[in-house]
Structure formats: C-alpha cells, structure tokens
Amino acid sequence: MKSIMDAFCKELNSVPADSDGANSFHRDLDDLSLTLELHQRKGQIFYDRKKGSQFEAQRGENKNWTILSYLYHMVHIAERFESVNMHFPIRGHSFMECDRDMASVSQTAKAEAPEDWRNVLQTGRSTPELFHIIKITGDKFLKCTKFL
C-alpha cells in the first residue's frame, strides 16, 4: 500500500535546468495522489528545497508557493486530503549519529573490493574508538523470494 509519506522525498536541486522544476514536482505529486487509496486522507511530505540552490539560481526565484498552492487546493478545494504536513529540514538537525561517524572516513581512499573498504574503515579513525567491522557472509542475508 502506498502512502503519501513514502511517496515524496524529492529534492528540486536534482531537477535538470531545462525542466519546469516545481511544476514537475506538482505533476508527480498529482499522479501519486491519484494512485493512493481513498481512505488515505492525511499526508506528510519531507521537502528538501534549499534556498540559494543551483536550481533556484537558474530560475531566479523560489518556487515553494507553487507546491503550497497545490497542497492548499488538494486539502480545501478538491478535498482529497484532510491535512498535509510539509516538513522542511533544518540545517544541522537532519543528520544521524552514523553520518558524523562516516565523516571521519577518508573520502579519497582507493577501495574497489569489500576487503579494501574493510581496511579503510578499520583505519578510518582512532578516536573515540576504532570502527568495529563485522564480516557478514552470504548465509546471513534473508532470501526475499521465500516471502513471495
């Protein structure tokens, strides 16, 4: 079952310069809302639209109003949803602890095979402590086809 929360984690920074950006986002969201089941009446959207991005510079203005007006229409006029909560990430508050750990690993290390990555990670940092690497073999992974 699809949900509007699963549906839209889209970053307009990745939109090509020759596309219509926010309108493209609007069309994608409209298509998604048509595929949702009718009992799904509440939604949450995580919207990463960075001010000052390359997309914004190319277009010359912020297009958030396009998205907001569409969502207003879907809630108040079309009455497709009871509510939609739109979340804008706050700089410095959207990172997890593991992101900080991985920042200590060399970004220029040459690694091609899993063993190379294991060596890079084991020597990646010394404080607060070395990474603890666990080698996982193929028999540890679930066979997803058993569940179909």
How do residues 58-93 score in pLDDT, each as one tens digit?
A: 444 556 777 788 888 888 988 888 888 877 666 666
Peptide linkage before 114 cis (omega within 30 of 0): no
What pLDDT does 21 receive? 60
Domain residue extents for the chain: 4-87, 97-147
pLDDT at residue 8, as a whole number: 44
- CA 71 from centroid of its chain's CA atoms: 19
Q: Is the pLDDT of residue 120 over 50?
A: yes
pLDDT > 70: what percent of the chain? Answer: 55
Pairing of strands 83-87, 42-46: parallel
Q: What whole-number distance in Å separates Cα of residue 139 and Cα of residue 115? A: 18
Q: What is the value of pTM for the model shown?
A: 0.45
